[in-house]
Homo-oligomer: A and B are copies of this chain.
Amino acid sequence: MKVAEIQSFGIDEVVLADRPEPKPQFGQVVIKVKAASLNYRDLMMVKGVYNPKLRRPLIPLSDGVGEVVEVGTGVTRVTVGDRVAGIFMQKWIDGPIDESKARPALGGDIDGMAAEFVCLDQEGIVHVPDFLTDEEAATLPCAAVTAWDALIDQGQLKAGDSILIQGTGGVSIFALQIARMTGASVIATSSHDEKLERVKSMGASDGINYKTHPDWDSKVLEITNKAGVDHIVEVGGAGTLARSFKAVRKGGHISLIGVLAGATAEVNPMPILMKNIRVQGIFVGSRKMFEDMNRAIALNNLKPVIDRVFEFKEIKEALKYMESGAHFGKICIRM
């Protein structure tokens, strides 16, 4: 079968290779992958930025959806023909994270979804909502679960709360949709006015162009009558965190997700103390969160926003498109 492989680091080094088709062991299932989606982590993985000691060759991509085509003995959670997605961390089923649940993660510690067939433990998959296309369902495992964990499980968001999203990448757009679904309000930042118009058409109350207003935190305070927002879905990392400290309300929450601004920047933590802020690191979520979210998505007809779909053989182009930062929502791959 065809798989994509990271052998050397660099987008142009991604190789389409052949591997034997997997056979399911006790408790395992084989999935014929139909669609996958890209996350910023995949890009960093391919470029060797995420983990310079990455085991190679590695099949990249954490997110994929497909059809169960074969099941091993002892499999009771699914049957052949079911449509499922892999969960990001194969051992994080339920409850709070711990060291043993955090590994292994698809497309990082172990091979990912950029393959015609993948073999996973029956515990490491979930059924996806029927009303979604394969590509739409493939956007969920990393970005959507991350947004859900940040806002719902950790953030305990409720109707009437306010959140801030940064940019229009996958996590941010899912955060917008989940917040609106929950009756919360959304302020968005972007460097493009047309993207701000688009998030407003999706329910954001306000958009701030951070190119025009580099001091976007002041705009947030202006919009919120100096109070600040309740919750910030921080995807900029140290590069934007200092402003987020100013834009969040006293006692507010910041979900620290992003790695966009690079791993080397530093920030003064004093405002965390002075404003009683909670900064919660979010690293995707559990299968339970994924299942809870799927129920909410189905009930509320939440349609993931797909920017563009590439063919499997165009995986390098897809990664380069992600690198350009031009996207709004998710980038998918049709297998």
Say yes or no for A257: interface residue by CB 8 A criterion.
yes
Say yes or no for A277: interface residue by CB 8 A criterion.
yes
Contact B282 A273 (CB under 8 A): yes
Contacting B at CB under 8 A, from A165-221, are 178, 181-185
Residues of chain A at interface, number, CB under 8 A:
66
Contact B185 A158 (CB under 8 A): no
Residues in B whose Cβ lies below 8 Å from that of A266: 266-269
Residues in B whose Cβ lies below 8 Å from that of A273: 237, 256-259, 281-283
Segment at the interface with B among A15-23, A57-65, A91-99, A131-139: A91-99
* Chain B nearest Cβ from A316, distance in angstroms: 27
Say yes or no for A241: interface residue by CB 8 A criterion.
yes
Residues 259-274 of A, flagged 1 when their CB comes within 8 A of B and 0 if not, give 1000111111111111
Which residue from B97, B264, B288, B299 sits with its C-beta under 8 Å from A183?
A: B299
Count of identical protomers in the assembly? 4
* Chain B nearest Cβ from A208, distance in angstroms: 19
Contacting B at CB under 8 A, from A252-307, are 256-259, 263-283, 286, 288, 292-300
Residues 68-107 of A, flagged 1 when their CB comes within 8 A of B and 0 if not, give 0000011000000000000000000111111100100000
Say yes or no for A250: interface residue by CB 8 A criterion.
yes
Contact B256 A288 (CB under 8 A): no
If A95-B94, A159-B300 touch, does A281 touch B292 (CB 8 Å cutoff)?
A: no
Q: List 29 A-B contacts (CB under 8 A).
A: A26-B27, A26-B74, A27-B27, A94-B95, A95-B95, A95-B288, A96-B251, A156-B156, A158-B292, A158-B296, A159-B178, A160-B296, A160-B299, A181-B183, A182-B183, A183-B183, A237-B270, A238-B268, A259-B270, A263-B268, A266-B268, A267-B267, A267-B268, A275-B281, A276-B280, A276-B282, A277-B280, A278-B279, A278-B281
13 more A-B residue pairs beyond the given contacts A94-B95, A98-B250, with a C-beta to C-beta distance below 8 A: A95-B95, A95-B288, A158-B296, A159-B181, A159-B182, A160-B294, A183-B299, A238-B268, A238-B270, A263-B270, A267-B269, A272-B281, A273-B283
